Amino acid sequence: MHTAQLLVELGAVLFGLGVLARLAGRFGFSPIPLYLLAGLAFGSGGLVPLEAPDGFFAAGSEIGVVLLLLLLGLEYSAADLVGQLRQQAPIGVLDLVLNGVPGAVVALALGWGPVSALAMAGVTAVSSSGIIAKVLTDLGRLGNRETPTVLGILVLEDLAMAVYLPVLTAVLAASGGAGALQSVGIALLVLAVVLVVALRYGHQVTRLVAADAGPEVLLLRVLGLALLVAGAAEGVHVSAAVGAFLLGIALSGEVAHLARPLLEPLRDLFAAVFFVFFGLSTDPSQLPSVLLPAMVLVVVGVLTKMATGILAARRAGIGPGGQIRAGAVLAPRGEFSIVIAGLAGSGVHPRLAPTVAAYVLTMAVLGPLMPRLTDPLARRAVTRAAARRAATGTA
């Protein structure tokens, strides 16, 4: 491909993504489904296939995953994770079981095999932290009583992914039963070592990165270290995403505060490339054949997340309106589901990627609408609870 054609196509794609992001912001929903649709439109079998090099989008998508998880890790300190694990562990386990089982059951029912079932369990289990954070901000609900409960569930899901992703990666990389067990053991051992370093020596890591660092130096150090850790993690089948997430946890205090605004523009750029690349690698002609299982998972996924949020909020002593709001905001799936599908690839089962694409597209669009759709129900629940209290007091 000539340099001129390469630059024109890449420039057109990136400019188009900017237009889509602006359009999504104007209507108050996540740009993720638009990025996926753009990838479907410009990929093989799409409306206008582009010849832009796969290498750029493949490498850019890997960097996008690293930055997504790094920035997510920077939001939490090791103490936050330990505290949330102690407080919300029972609900976290229920959340993962309640929402992961439907994905595994559908994969097994369709004859995709146990490895696909393991992948689909992760796809349906975890909510999208990025979409939920945006929805809570846009609706002005960060100060609501139910919001800490929602965030606690998200933290536990992120922790679970730190264990799940290396296990999935090891299973995918192993050729046999004994090899799979050995790979999983190595992955979990490395994960435990990294967690200990993050918990006990996070301050030393922070001082090393922050020493004599202005904005430019800090950006280069944090990004370079993230790619190094991600690459090393990938080398031992722990997943680059988990390595980046744990590095983000290890970096705390002022470094995390200063690094976030420096890295966020890069994250947004490469995350967009990541979602587009997933769309590019999915054949749109395969979507109609997977709509039925995808829609079944959508309906079940909305109901199970509603149940999770209601139970968690009730356990925290929050009223009926807050319980409904907590359940509704947990519905969307997004970045982690796509990461899992990307790890599994078409080698596990050819219908897995298009099923996940249809599922995430629907959930990413439905997710920001759920809080608005359930608001009347939440208000009625508050009114009924107030009426019951008044009747009880009168009696």
Q: Among candidates 177, 189, 178, 176, which has minimal Cα distance to 237?
A: 189
Question: Is residue 88 over pLDDT 80?
Answer: no
Cα–Cα distance measured from residue 127 to residue 154, given in angstroms and rounded to the nearest whole number? 7
Under 8 Å between Cβ of 83 and 286: no
Asked if residue 11 belongs to a domain, the reply is no
Mean pLDDT (whole number) for 12-38: 81
Most confident of 40-44, 45-49, 313-317: 313-317
Question: Is residue 175 over pLDDT 60?
Answer: no
pLDDT band at 61 (very low <50, low <70, confident <90, very high): confident
Mean pLDDT (whole number) for 333-347: 76
Cα–Cα distance measured from residue 283 to residue 40, given in angstroms and rounded to the nearest whole number? 7
Under 8 Å between Cβ of 274 and 68: yes
Most confident of 125-129, 130-134, 184-188, 204-208: 125-129
Asked if residue 389 belongs to a domain, the reply is no
Mean pLDDT (whole number) for 234-260: 75
Higher pLDDT, 80 or 169: 169
* Four-CA torsion 202, 204, 205, 210, nearest 10 degrees: 120
pLDDT band at 395 (very low <50, low <70, confident <90, very high): very low
Mean pLDDT (whole number) for 145-173: 78
What is the pLDDT, as a whole number, of residue 237? 61
Asked if residue 394 belongs to a domain, the reply is no
Asked if residue 340 belongs to a domain, the reply is yes
Higher pLDDT, 57 or 384: 384
Which of 34-43, 105-114, 181-190, 258-267 has the least mean pLDDT? 181-190
Asked if residue 74 belongs to a domain, the reply is yes
Largest Cα span, the chain: 83
Asked if residue 45 belongs to a domain, the reply is no
Asked if residue 23 belongs to a domain, the reply is no
| Structural domains of the chain, count | 1
What is the pLDDT, as a whole number, of residue 277? 79
**Which CATH number does the domain housing residue 177 bear?**
1.20.1530.20
Question: What's phi and psi for 357, nearest 5 deg?
Answer: -60, -45
Domain that holds residue 115: 57-283+292-381
What is the pLDDT, as a whole number, of residue 248? 81
Question: Is residue 341 over pLDDT 80?
Answer: yes
Count how many residues are written for the chain. Answer: 395
Question: Is residue 94 over pLDDT 50?
Answer: yes
Most confident of 24-38, 101-115, 135-149, 379-393: 101-115
Asked if residue 43 belongs to a domain, the reply is no
- Share of residues in the chain with pLDDT > 90 (%): 13
Question: What's phi and psi for 167, nearest 5 deg?
Answer: -65, -45
| Average per-residue pLDDT for the chain | 79
CB half-sphere exposure, 43, CA atoms < 13 A: 22
